[in-house]
Structure 1
């Protein structure tokens, strides 16, 4: 998988992504707290989001903070959500090994019959989420790899609840693994701690 080094947030963070992922800000506006990359050959996306740190008043521990951020992504969509964890709940950032990271794999499923489905619309989306905890900076970084399952594009309907992944979900897992191996904060002044 050919990769490019990506400079996020003006170069304050560096990460490698497969070269097929392109910066969405060249075609539409993206909030300042986000960096969004879209697979030009498919439907997958990678989103980096700098958010306020979820502390003890909102979540009793890191796993609750992970769930809080996942619900922030999936709530208010009108869809049913199912969360299934794969691999370790605490992967490592190769370049920042002392930084706390948690991850999960979830799926966002459309309610049956909620509305007619448009052509090339996903019937469900695999959501690979990694939460980088930076409490000393008052920051959480949420990294999300979204892999929509589009029936006309994906030949099989795989149930991630049984950890049976099609090649597209496996590719999403590979992208997240690459992010974990290359993610590196170069300029800590990016984070303002009030």
Structure 2
């Protein structure tokens, strides 16, 4: 039943809808999230998916736009590596009017809560460009692949997962999320 409720999850006050990964928890119910973002967490891992409405970067060619937004997120950290970038086939997207779509995969060492211990996270970014609305839609799947033993995310072997815990999300869950995104109310763009 819970998965059915998330199949057509409304985003940004009903302006969009998308099929969220199973068991997604709305991060805005736990902490403040910027108005241009919707963020969801996995119930028992450190995985998350985020959708951001960003300003369309008209001076950045389509083939460089995903890298541009990734570098904006990553900053000047030397602990990042872009693993791949490929074109997303726009006719497979539910989002109408998308001029181009890109999927970028990167690896990053990041600390949680400004800790010294850094965890390895694989980021999957999908950039959907909507120049007619002056918007770049950035969808991100943060997938921790290695947790430092001193990180607050480490279980230190003392926690036993609940018997019916949600399995970790996969890249396929993320691709379903990206492909299912629909614009319901263009008025969100002003």
Contact 1:23/1:36 (8 A) holds in 2: yes
Q: How much has 1:41 moved relative to structure 2? A: 1.6
**1:63 positional shift:** 1.8
**2:21–2:174: 8 Å Cα contact kept in structure 1?**
no
TM normalised by structure 1 equals: 0.76
Preserved contact between residue 43 and residue 148 of structure 1 (Cα < 8 Å): yes
State the secondary structure of the residue aligned to 1:17.
coil
Instruction: Give the alignment's TM-score, normalised by structure 2.
Output: 0.77
**Aligned match of 1:149:** 145
2:124 is the counterpart of 1:125: no
Q: Give CA deviations for 1:85-114 in whole Å, capped at 9, x if unaligned.
A: 16x422334313652211111111259xxx
The CA RMSD over aligned residues, in Å, is 2.6
In the alignment, structure 1 residue 104 sits paired with structure 2 residue 100 = no
Quote the residue 1:74 is aligned against.
Answer: 74
Q: Unmatched 5+ residue regions in structure 1?
A: 155-166
2:159 maps to which residue? none
Distance 1:187 1:110, change over 3 A: closer
* 1:116 Cα offset (Å): 4.4
Matched residue, 1:173:
171
The answer on whether the counterparts of 2:107 and 2:123 sit within 8 Å (CA) in structure 1 is: yes
Q: CA deviation at 1:140?
A: 0.6
Assess, with a 3 A threshold, how the Cα gap between structure 1 residues 116 and 50 changes in structure 2: closer, same or farther.
Answer: closer
